[in-house]
Amino acid sequence: MTKFIRRLQKIGSSILVSLPKEWIDASNLSKGSQVEIETGQDSLSISANKETRSAKELVISYPLPMEENIVANITGAYLLGYDIIQINSQSIIPGGDREKIRNSMRGLVGMEIIEEDASKINMQFLLDTATLNPEKILKRMSSIALGMYDDVSNGLISDDKSNLKTLSKRDVEVNRQYFLLVRLIRSTLVDKRLANIFNLENIDVLDYRVAANLLENAGDTIVELANFIYDSSLPKELLKKIHLTVRNFNSLAEKSIDAFTKPDRGIAIEAIASHIKFQEDLSKLRIAIGNKKQIPIDFLDLVYMFERIAKSWADVVDLIQPIYHK
C-alpha cells in the first residue's frame, strides 16, 4: 500500500483534496467518474465505485497434477475470496470428481454451481460480502458448538446415548461458518471499505481469525468427547460427578463471546474469573477421585477433554485488550 500526503484546500465553502494521479490511472477513473467514500472513526477511505468493481475470478484447468486435490483447490479459492471459480477441462470430467465438487459446495456458505456441462463446472459466491457480519458469524459458531456441548454434558447421565453419534453432522455447520468467517476477514484485510463497514481495525480482524479458529477446534474436540463418552464403560457414579461439575459451562462461555464482540474488558474480567473457577472445580474433582485406588484412566481423559474445550472459550476472552493504569 502506497501512502500519499495531501494538503486540504478551500474553494468557496468546500474543503477539497486532490487524489494521486497514479491511483486515478490505475483505477481507470476520469473527470465525472463516481467514487465511494467510507468514513471510520479516525479514517476516510475512497474507492472506485462498487458498481464497476469486477468480481474476482479463478480458472482451474482440469485434470489437476497428481499431487493436487480438486476439493482443496476449491476450498482454498473460496477462502481467498474468489467470487467466481471455473473448472475447465478438454475432456469429460469423471462422475466421481463431479460428486466431490458437489459435496465440497455443501461446506462453503454462499458458493453455488451456476453452470455445468460435461467438461465445465462454474461456481459463484452469491452473497453480498458487505451485508455479512463477522460478529454474528462468530456468535453463531459459538451457539452451535455450545448446543453440542449441552448434548455431550447430558450424555454423561443419559441412558440413551445415541444422540452423541450425530454431533459430527452438526459440527459440519460450525466448519461452514468458520470457512465463511475466514473468507470474510481475509477480504476485509485487503478491502478497506469492508473494514470501515464492519468498524474493524487490522488487529481486530486478526483477533477474529484467532477466535474463529479456537471455536472451530472446540467443535472438533466436542465431537471427539461425544464419541469417547459413547464408548466409555465408566461407572455411572463417576459420570454423574463429572456432569455435576461441567453442566453449567454455557453461561460463562457465552459471556466470553459477549465480552469479545463488544469488546468489554469488564465482562472479560468476569468471564476470566468464571473460567478459573471452572478449571479449579475440575482440578478438585480429579484430586478427589485420585485419592481412591485404581483411578480409571478414562476418567482422567474425560476431565482433560472438558478442560480443553473450556480453554477454547477462555483463549477467546484473552484476546481482549487489558486496561493498563498509568
Alpha helix ranges (H) inside the chain: 21-26, 70-79, 95-105, 134-155, 167-190, 192-198, 202-231, 236-246, 249-261, 265-290, 297-317
Q: 96, 125, 154 — which closes off a domain?
A: 125
Question: How many domains would you assign to the chain?
Answer: 3
**Element containing residue 89 per DSSP (H, E):** strand 84-89
- What single-letter amino acid sits at 278? F
pLDDT by residue, tens only, the chain of 326 residues: 677 787 777 654 557 788 888 777 777 777 556 677 777 667 777 777 655 456 789 999 988 888 888 899 999 999 999 999 999 998 898 888 889 888 888 899 999 998 988 889 999 998 888 888 999 999 999 999 999 999 999 999 998 889 999 999 999 999 999 999 999 998 888 877 788 888 888 888 889 999 999 999 999 999 999 999 999 888 898 899 999 999 999 999 999 999 999 989 999 999 999 999 999 999 988 887 766 566 778 888 999 999 999 999 999 999 987 754 44
Does 290 fall in a domain?
Answer: yes
Q: Are 181 and 204 members of one domain?
A: yes
Q: What is the CATH number of the domain that holds 89?
A: 3.30.110
Q: 100 is in which domain, residue-wise? A: 57-125
Q: Are 187 and 309 members of one domain?
A: yes
Q: Are 216 and 301 members of one domain?
A: yes
Does 325 fall in a domain?
Answer: no
Q: Are 238 and 187 members of one domain?
A: yes
278 touches 310 (CB < 8 A): yes
Q: Are 301 and 180 members of one domain?
A: yes
Q: What is the CATH number of the domain that holds 190?
A: 1.20.58.220
The model's pTM is: 0.79
Does 4 fall in a domain?
Answer: no
Q: Are 17 and 109 members of one domain?
A: no
Q: Say how far apart CA 244 and CA 222 lie, in whole Å.
A: 18
Q: Are 45 and 84 members of one domain?
A: no
174 touches 104 (CB < 8 A): no
Q: Say how far apart CA 185 and CA 132 lie, in whole Å.
A: 11
Does 2 fall in a domain?
Answer: no
